[in-house]
Structure 1
Amino acid sequence: MAALIVIGILSSVFIFGLKTGIGCGFSKTGWKVVFVLCLLYFVIALVAGYFMDAIDVTSFMSSPLASAIHITLALFLLAGGIVTMKKWHSGCDVSNKTFLIMVFPCPVCMAALLVSCVALSTVVELDGILIGALVGVVFVISILITTFVMKNLSKITKKLNINFEGTPDTLGAIMVFIGLFYLVAAIMIPAYIGAGAAASTMPTSYGTAELTILAGVVLLILFGAVLTAAADRSREKSA
């Protein structure tokens, strides 16, 4: 059972590394930059393992500061994705700049590394630095594998008789999608944590949290529809 828990935790770490790998893979950046980013994330994982007992992640994730960070990051991703797609359709590639929004260490990834270190410490008896190193290695492997796959995606799809070219336009679309996801997360996470904490004393707060989440999802759908319509008009004009 302990082995399954460890595998599950490390699998979640691997998934969080996909965002950085996708950003590197669909941009025109070289492998030197990828290796520097891997080293940076490995160092962050070591620091997370060392300080994992001194930081209350739950309190931070439910704080207004965490929501503000989520929303700011979401807006940067949305803006960067739209600019990347618009510039690409006008004949200009800015992915070597906008991809930094995807790959630069954000509070969400750092919190994920910290939570993973804390979770592993309850299952395996290792020093904090070693736990951080294990989490960092898995995160780095995720970045390298994803980057390699994304950079060679056109070759892979051709072997499967699928015509797909991974371009900066694809990177922009992914940035918009992840930005919308972060926007929903900024609403959902504090609402659920606050509802769980106040359930015993304020039963009606759960209903308020649910309504907030529902409103956020509706706004997300409407915003996605507006973005789709704007992208279609932009393509028609460029054509």
Structure 2
Amino acid sequence: MATLIVIGILSSVFIFGLKTGIGCGFSKTGWKAVGVLCLLYFVIALVAGYFMDAIDVTSFMSSPLAAAIHITLALFLLAGGIVTMKKWHAGCDVSNKTFLILVFPCPVCMAALLVSCVALSTVVDLSGIAIGALVGIVFVISILVTTFVMKNLSKITAKLHINFSGTPDTLGAVMVFIGLFYLVAAIMIPAYINASTARSSIPSSFGTPELIVLAGVAALIVFGAALTAAADRSREKASKTE
């Protein structure tokens, strides 16, 4: 059971690294810059592991400050994504600037690393630095793998006989999608934590908070699919007019 818990926590760390990897993959960022980002995130993970016992993560995640951070990041991502798509259709590529919103360390990612360190400390008997190093390694692997896949996505899809090429338009759509996710998270996370705290001692396998989370995730998936389809149609129309 402990092994499964560790795998689950590290899998969530890997998923959080996808945001940075996607931003690097769909932009023109070189591998040297990606390496610097990986080193930066690894150091942040080490710091999170060292200070994990000094911060009350649950109280912070349910506080108005956490919600304000989520909303601010969401607005930046939404604005950056829309600008990226509009400028690309106008013949200007600004992805080498707007992608920074995705890849730079944000309070949400740092909180995710801290939460992961705290969760791992409950199931493994390691020092804080060692736990931080483990989390950092998984996060770095996620960035490197995602960046490689995104940079070679057109080649991969070509082998599968799928016509796809990652453009700044795609990056903009991804930024909008992640921005919406952060916006929904700003509402759901504090509500879920408060609901879990106020829940009675009688165990419940599935309740209203779980339904809210699932509904939000489903809505984001549907919107993301629709947004991607709209971007593809827009590219097709633009190519036909040329």
TM-score range, shorter chain: 0.7 to 0.9
Q: Quote the residue 1:132 is aligned against.
A: 132
* Residues 24 and 5 (structure 1), Cα distance of their counterparts in 2 relative to 1, 3 Å cut: same
Match of residue 176 from structure 1:
176
The separation in 2 between residues aligned to 1:39 and 1:231, in whole angstroms, is 34
Matched letter for residue 186 of structure 2: A
Does structure 1 conserve the Cα–Cα contact (< 8 Å) formed by 2:170 and 2:231?
Answer: no
**220 and 34 in structure 1: CA distance in 2 versus 1, 3 angstrom threshold:** closer
| Structure 1 counterpart of 2:8 | 8
In 1, the alpha carbon distance for the partners of 2:196 and 2:115 equals: 19
**Distance of aligned partners of 1:87 and 1:180 in 2 relative to their CA distance in 1, 3 Å threshold:** same
* Structure 1 outlier segments of 4+, above 4 Å: 234-239
Matched with 2:205 is none
Q: TM-score, normalised by structure 1?
A: 0.85
Corresponding residue number in structure 1 for 2:165: 165
- Normalised to the residue count of structure 2, the TM-score between the two structures is 0.84
Amino acid at match of 2:175: M
Counterpart-to-counterpart distance in 2, 1:231 and 1:157: 17
Aligned to 1:120: 120
| 8 Å Cα contact 2:41/2:140 also seen in 1 | yes
Residue deviations 1:117-173 (CA, integer Å, cap 9, x gap): 111111111110011001000100000010001001001111111110011110000
1:204 is aligned to none
Which blocks of at least 5 consecutive residues in structure 1 are unaligned? 201-207
Q: CA deviation at 1:197?
A: 3.1
What residue in structure 1 maps to residue 28 of structure 2? 28
- How far apart are residue 71 of structure 1 and its match? 0.3
Summarize deviations over 1:4-26 as a string: whole Å, max 9, x none. Answer: 21111111111110110000000
Cα RMSD between the aligned structures?
3.3
- The 3-state SS of whatever aligns with 1:112 is helix
Mapping for residues 195-214 of structure 1, pairs under 5 Å: 195-199=195-199
Which whole-Å CA distance do the structure 1 matches of 2:69 and 2:122 have between them?
Answer: 28
Give the corresponding residue for 1:90: 90
1:180-221 alpha-carbon deviations (Å, 9 max, x no partner):
111111111111222333456xxxxxxx989x99xx99x989
What is the SS of the residue equivalent to 1:156? helix
Q: What corresponds to 1:205 in structure 2?
A: none
Distance 1:231 1:12, change over 3 A: closer
Aligned 8 A contact 2:61 2:189 in 1: yes
Tell me the amino acid that sits aligned with residue 38 of structure 1. C
Match for 2:37: what amino acid?
L
Shift in alpha-carbon separation, 1:220–1:131, aligned structure 2, 3 A: closer
The 10-residue stretch of structure 1 (71-80 or 118-127) with the greater mean CA deviation from structure 2: 118-127
Deviation at 1:36, TM superposition (A): 0.7
* Paired residue type of 2:26: F
Partner SS for 1:163: coil
In 2, Cα distance between the equivalents of 1:132 and 1:220? 31
Identity %: 88
Query: Aligned pair 1:52/2:75, yes or no?
Result: no
Q: Which amino acid aligns with 1:14?
A: F
- Whether contact under 8 Å (2:9, 2:119) holds in the other structure is yes
